[in-house]
Amino acid sequence: MFRRHLLSLALGATLALGATAVQAQDEFIVVQSTTSTQNSGLFDHILPMFEEEIGIEVRVVAVGTGQAIKNAANGDGDVLFVHAKPAEEKFVAEGHGVERFDVMYNDFVIVGPPSDPAGVAGSSDVVAALTKIAEAEAAFASRGDDSGTNKAELRLWNEAGIDAQSSSGEWYRETGSGMGATLNTGTAMGAYIMTDRATWIAFGNKGDYEIAVEGDPKMFNQYGIILVNPEKHANVKAEAGQTFIDWVLSDAGQAAIADYEVDGQQLFFPNAGE
């Protein structure tokens, strides 16, 4: 009887440990993010580190920032990781997110063909460069997808006092696609393209294109991270999601971001807590 009791206890413990292991193995979160974090290879670099250390799988939905914010507002995700600070702050103010944190930054650049029809190569004044592109009616390929890059681009056109979208289908072409697809389309048509630097560095189909406009503080590109509000969406895995956020903001997560390079170039610069 005593032996049977011990065997029963041992079996129960084994089943409990097995159930715990299966539960840990099955635990995952969904991160709504932008194409630049995915296309640049950043997630391929940092997520295996997080998953190995913490044991939580991260499933990324990589879309334009505008769509990622809509998805998160609908409760289709646990964490939002994008790059459009005013839209992110609005997301939190409207109660969709708990709190926003700076994570990292890089910058936007405008790339162009070697013929440089608008004469903007070497410029560090993005408003002046966009004005020249519009005046020359030189082809410009825009994502046109409400992404963080598209939002930044439209803000810069507005600062230049130019309604580029009124010329849509003429010299101004809206692809409605992600950054990689827009770069492919734009380079094929000989157009100027605004892109985040990380995606450009990682882009494998540059041809003879080069960066034409860079270095303007107005092209600063900040990324933020937010836990989706579990009080609005009961399905949000708040504890696991916050664990991911805490890791990204930690010394280990920030170091992982800083260590990511392509062709010897650092793609993102961590600035959590600054």
8 Å CB contact between 51 and 58: yes
pLDDT at 16: 40
pTM: 0.86
How close are the terminal C-alpha atoms of the chain, in Å? 65
Q: Which residue is associated with the tokens 């409400």?
A: 146
pLDDT at 6: 37
pLDDT at 183: 96
Beta-carbon contacts of residue 157 (< 8 Å; ≥ 6 apart):
130, 163, 164
Distance (Å, whole) CA 232 – CA 109: 38
Both tokens of 36, joined, read: 């630049």
Beta-carbon contacts of residue 200 (< 8 Å; ≥ 6 apart):
109, 111, 183, 206, 211
- The structural domains of the chain, with segments of one domain joined by +, span 27-106+223-270, 107-219
Q: Is the dihedral of CA 40, 174, 218, 215 positive or negative?
A: positive
Same fold, 27-106+223-270 and 107-219: yes
pLDDT at 21: 38
Distance (Å, whole) CA 68 – CA 166: 26
pLDDT at 26: 57
pLDDT at 273: 82
What's the topology of domain 107-219?
A: D-Maltodextrin-Binding Protein; domain 2 (3.40.190)
Distance (Å, whole) CA 204 – CA 86: 31
What's the topology of domain 27-106+223-270?
A: D-Maltodextrin-Binding Protein; domain 2 (3.40.190)
Distance (Å, whole) CA 83 – CA 101: 11
Which residue numbers in the chain have pLDDT < 70?
1-26
